[in-house]
């Protein structure tokens, strides 16, 4: 009995995984199709490759050679054929394989995300907990009103404000770029700013700007979760037992606060990725967001499609893995899906 049931579950699981993978592939198809459909609306890449004096006839010839005049389906099939082999086309702007361009720009964005995640964690935890414990203290009130301000300020504005304050007026921090970087693996793919003083200095303002969107949210989230937990029966019981405040707050209350916060953190970091585009623009941070805007402005359509496909597949991949893991952890997910 037990064995057969076990086998059945395994079958379910296998079917579930297959289904999720097929779904993921379908989503990828749709993303690349959408990318292809909009690429002609972005503009004409040939325009950016030639001077204004080049005649329409010569431009058409160049477009022909680039295969831009072929019917939509032929272009798309050609793209998919190459994409399966890992070739996502060639960026017109950088004049390199699009995938290579994207991979080289990714570390800058990842470092920006890591930096701001660190800031969010290091600032929101103590402030959130403190303002839950001492809601009436001056610091808590200040934190709360300040965080309202933070939520309502667009990241673009925050960034420019920070630049003018710290770079232009006080002249303590640099205004743009990544500064001195170190080639991490010696192959030119991952240049890190975390290992030099100059690189770290350059990280400060962009990371603060980027974290400014999520920081208030997390302070508030931690505060309210913590306050909720503090009202529960078992905390009251812990007090009654005569435990020390430090023990009650940190071991009993804080630990239980963290669970929902971690879940939200995962989701919000995905959203933060979207905000890197603006942050990178203001700070001229040479990451994927900056590259994306360049591609839009200069009508580098092949880089644009490659970008959509890469970012899309990262998201799809992560979601698929999470879904599959969820399936293992929580059986109701896959059983609900079997019928």
Partner 1 sequence: MKKLVLLALSLFLVLSFTVSAGAKTLKVGLDADPVSLDPQVQLSGGMLQLSHWVFDPLVRWTQELTFEPRLATKWERKDELTMRFYLRKGVKFHSGNTFSAKDVKWSFDRMRTSVDFKGLLEPFDGCYIIDDYTVDIKTKKPYALLLNMSTYFFAMDSEFYTGTDANGQPKDAIVKIGESFALNNESGTGPFVVTKREQGLVIEMERFKDYWDKNCPGNVTKFTLVPIKENATRVAALLSGDVDFISPVPPQDFRRVNSDDKVKLVTISGGRIITFQMNQNRVEALKDVRVRQAIVHAVNNAGIVQKIMKGTATVAAQQGPRGYAGYKETLKPRYDLKKAKALMREAGYANGFEITMMAPNNRYVNDAKIAEATAQMLGKIGIKVNLKTMPKAQYWNEFDARAADMMMIGWHSDTEDSGNFSEFLMMCENKETGYGQYNSGYCNPKVDELTIAAQSETDLDKRTAMLQEIEQILYDDAAFIPFHWQNHSYGAKKNLKVKEIINAMNFPYFGDLVVE
Name, in order, each residue with C-beta under 8 angstroms of 206's C-beta and a sequence gap of 6 or more.
112, 115, 159, 279, 280, 283, 285
Identify which of 107, 215, 106 has the alpha carbon closest to the alpha carbon of residue 153. Answer: 215
Question: Does residue 50 belong to the site contacting partner 1 (CB under 8 A)?
Answer: yes
Cα maximum dimension of the chain: 87
For the chain, helix (H) and strand (E) counts, in that order, are 14, 2
Q: Does 189 bind partner 1 (CB under 8 A)?
A: no
**Integer angstrom CA distances of residue 258 from 120, 229, 316:** 14, 10, 26
Q: Which of 54, 133, 200, 227 binds partner 1 (CB under 8 A)?
A: 54
94 binds partner 1 per the rule CB under 8 A: yes
Cα 44–chain centre separation: 29
Using an 8 Å Cβ cutoff, are 249 and 235 in contact?
no
Q: Nearest distance from residue 108's CB to partner 1, in Å?
A: 10
Segment lying near partner 1 (by CB under 8 A), choices 8-16, 92-100, 262-270, 310-318:
92-100
The residue among 45 and 115 lying less far from partner 1, judged by its C-beta, is 45
Least gap, CB of 92 to partner 1 (angstroms): 6
Contact between residue 48 and residue 303 where contact means Cβ atoms under 8 Å apart: no
**For partner 1, what does the binding mask look like between residues 58 and 87, x meaning CB under 8 A?**
x---x---x---------------------
Among 28, 83, 110, 177, binds partner 1 (CB under 8 A): 177
Q: Which range touches partner 1 (CB under 8 A), out of 3-11, 74-82, 118-126, 166-174?
A: 166-174
CB 117 → partner 1: shortest distance, Å? 24
Residue 81 Cβ, how far from partner 1 at the closest point, in Å? 19
Output 204 or 269, the one with its CB closest to partner 1: 204
Q: Does 286 bind partner 1 (CB under 8 A)?
A: yes
Instruction: State which of positions 311-330 bind partner 1 (CB under 8 A).
Output: none
The stretch near partner 1 (CB under 8 A) out of 35-43, 119-127, 214-222, 268-276 is 35-43
CA atoms within 13 A on the CB side of 257: 29
The 8-class DSSP code of residue 231 comes to T
Q: Which of 12, 43, 310, 315 binds partner 1 (CB under 8 A)?
A: 43
- Residue 200, interface with partner 1 (CB under 8 A)? no
Using CA atoms, how far residue 171 sits from 166, 167, 322, in Å, is 6, 4, 45
CB nearer to partner 1: pick between 10 and 58: 58
Q: Residue 25 or 50: which CB sits closer to partner 1?
A: 50
Strand partners, 182: 192
Site for partner 1 in 288-307 (CB under 8 A): 291, 294, 296-299
What is the Cα–Cα distance from 17 to 191, expressed in whole angstroms? 36
From CA 339, how far away is CA 297, in angstroms rounded? Answer: 48
Nearest C-alpha neighbor of 68 from the set 101, 85, 32, 92: 92
Distance, CA of 176 to CA of 205 (rounded, Å):
9
Interface positions with partner 1 (CB under 8 A): 41-44, 47-58, 62, 66, 90, 92-96, 160, 163-164, 167-168, 171, 174-177, 281-284, 286, 291, 294, 296-299
């Amino acid at each position: 009995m037990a064995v057969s049931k076990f086998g059945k579950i395994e079958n379910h699981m296998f079917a579930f995984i297959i289904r999720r993978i097929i779904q993921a592939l379908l989503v990828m198809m749709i993303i690349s199709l959408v990318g292809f459909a909009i690429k002609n609306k972005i503009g004409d890449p040939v325009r950016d490759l030639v001077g204004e004096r080049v005649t329409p006839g010569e431009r058409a010839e160049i477009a022909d050679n680039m295969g831009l005049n072929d019917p939509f389906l032929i272009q798309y099939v050609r793209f998919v054929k190459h994409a399966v082999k890992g070739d996502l086309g060639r960026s017109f702007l950088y004049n390199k394989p699009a995938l290579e361009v994207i991979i080289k720009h990714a570390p800058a964005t990842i470092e920006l995300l890591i930096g701001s995640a660190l800031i969010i964690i290091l600032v929101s935890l103590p402030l959130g907990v403190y303002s839950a414990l001492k809601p009436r203290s001056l610091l808590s009130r200040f934190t709360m009103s300040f965080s309202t301000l933070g939520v309502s300020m667009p990241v673009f504005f925050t960034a420019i404000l920070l630049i003018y304050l710290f770079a232009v007026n006080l002249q303590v921090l640099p205004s743009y770029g990544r500064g001195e970087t170190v080639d991490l693996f010696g192959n030119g793919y991952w240049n890190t700013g975390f290992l030099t003083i100059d690189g770290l200095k350059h990280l400060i303002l962009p990371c603060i700007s980027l974290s400014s969107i999520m920081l208030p949210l997390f302070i508030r989230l931690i505060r309210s979760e913590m306050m909720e937990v503090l009202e529960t029966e078992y905390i009251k019981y812990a007090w009654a037992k005569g435990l020390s405040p430090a023990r009650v707050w940190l071991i009993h209350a804080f630990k239980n606060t963290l669970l929902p916060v971690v879940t939200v953190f995962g989701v919000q970091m995905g959203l933060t990725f979207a905000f890197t585009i603006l942050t990178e623009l203001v700070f001229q941070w040479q990451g994927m967001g900056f590259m994306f805007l360049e591609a839009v402005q200069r009508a580098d359509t092949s880089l644009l499609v490659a970008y959509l496909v890469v970012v899309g597949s990262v998201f799809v991949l992560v979601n698929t893995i999470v879904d599959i893991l969820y399936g293992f952890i929580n059986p109701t997910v896959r059983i609900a899906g079997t019928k």
